[in-house]
Amino acid sequence: MFRTNNELMMKARDGGYAVGAFNTNNLEITKAIFRAASEEQSPIILAVSPSAAKYAGMENLVAMARIAAEETGVPVSVHLDHGTEFEHLVHAVRAGFSSIMFDGSKHPYEENVRLTQEAVKLGHAAGISVEGELGRLVGTEDAISVSEREASMTNPDQALDYVERTGIDALAVSIGNAHGWYKGKPQLDFKRLEAIRNKIGDKALLVLHGASGIPDEDIRTAGSLGVTKINIDTEIRDAFKRGITQFIQENPDVIDPRKLLKPAMDEMVKIVGGKIKLFGSAGKATETMAYMAGGVAE
């Protein structure tokens, strides 16, 4: 049985650590994420984007996660990442996801509020967690001015309004974080993160997207300021490519897909395991189960 993001993140908030949300696209990535979670005895969030679902089949990914969750025994939430259309959310609920993200960040504010309210109605009726996003994650490739960059970030006052009016469980913030590799050192606005935290208090949990390439000390700072879910995709993709590329260079005649994909999995396990340790969730699997059994997260 999957746990909700809320359960895993509330335990993390009480324990002063963050849970990793790792994106999967296929069997090998899913297995690698679970192997790392099992080795580190950590709760994890398995993130599935609409395009990952389109590629692999949402039901296939859920079925793999269900089997891996049973085999490993670690607490797992299966989460829809960046659902932008209502159909994505409904499909995820029907497929058995335990959390959904509605990403309405491309819409004007009032439209984002209205659509997020609908997403919350759906998610909560299904008994699962709902994440919303306020502010826009500007791409690392986007050439934008300082004022445009500022304008794309989450406004703390608006964050409180958004959280109160939508009833979301978790808020994805924009504080200078971006998807993909950063050009140079990421410039995260921690003052803004702190102001958001102070404004919304315990009304919603905080999420940091685009965490690949963020230096360890900045990840720790984000955790200390109340972020309890941290999203990683790009570093997993990079590990996949590195593992397979190196193996093919050294073994150009091998064609067995299992032999080609094993080093990719090994590299991904190392990356995910490292992030789990960095986020502080290593060794928290058993106490998370006990916490949930005690009903504290209700």
**Residue ranges in the chain assigned as alpha helix (H):** 5-15, 27-40, 50-56, 58-72, 86-95, 109-125, 146-152, 156-166, 190-200, 216-224, 234-250, 257-279, 285-293
Contacts of 263 (CB under 8 A, 6+ apart): 243, 244, 246, 247
- The yes-or-no answer on residue 256 being catalytic is no
From 120-128, 188-196, 205-213, 268-276, span contacting ligand 13P (CB under 6 A) = 205-213
Run of H or E residues at 134: strand 129-134
Q: Which of 45, 206, 232, 285 binds ligand 13P (CB under 6 A)?
A: 232
5 binds ligand 13P (CB under 6 A): no
From 124-132, 146-154, 206-214, 262-270, span contacting Zn ion (CB under 5 A) = 206-214
Q: Which of 25, 77, 212, 281 binds ligand 13P (CB under 6 A)?
A: 212
Nearest 5°: CA angle at 269, between 8 and 21? 30
Nearer to ligand G3H, 11 or 79 (CB): 79
81 binds ligand 13P (CB under 6 A): yes
Structure tokens at 266: 């090994």
Largest Cα–Cα distance in the chain? 59
Indicate which residue of 14, 81, 157, 238 is catalytic.
Answer: 81
User: What gap in Å lies between CA 25 and CA 42, rounded to an integer?
Assistant: 21
84 binds ligand 13P (CB under 6 A): no
Which residues within the stretch 215-244 sit at the binding site for Zn ion (CB under 5 A)?
231
Nearer to ligand G3H, 232 or 285 (CB): 232
Which residues of this chain interact with Zn ion, rule CB under 5 A? 209, 231
Residues near ligand 13P (CB under 6 A): 23, 81-82, 179-180, 209-212, 231-234
**Catalytic center residues:** 81
